[in-house]
Amino acid sequence: LGEPLAAGAEPDPVVTAFLRRERRLEEQSRRREAGLAQRLHRFLRKKFYLFRRSALMTAISLRNLALGRPPLQQLAQEVAFANWRGEEEEAQPEGSATRQESPEL
């Protein structure tokens, strides 16, 4: 399990699912064992990004209603920027979640 795969070899779906489950369980136990300050920090960070996304998406929607829809590429960049969650996504391993790069506006 700990050894890297040979070049061109497909990982076994069962092993991949098992490793993903193990990572998730480790993360859950680490969150449960975290201190009050860490839990509060995680809660506030989560709420900040939720509020940030809501405000940006509302602004984008209101602008689209007033001025019409922009080109799809610009709209995709704005939505990707609104969905950006900072260091949380950057800290995740590449295979665990789809990563979106933060576009420069």
List, for residues 30-75, the tens digit of each pLDDT value.
888 889 898 899 899 999 999 999 999 999 999 999 999 999 999 9
What pLDDT score does 67 carry? 93
The whole-model pTM stands at 0.58
Q: 25-37 pLDDT, tens per residue?
A: 999 898 888 898 9
What pLDDT score does 58 carry? 96
Q: How many residues does the chain have?
A: 105
C-alpha span between 48 and 54 (Å, rounded): 10
Contact 102, 81 (CB under 8 A): yes
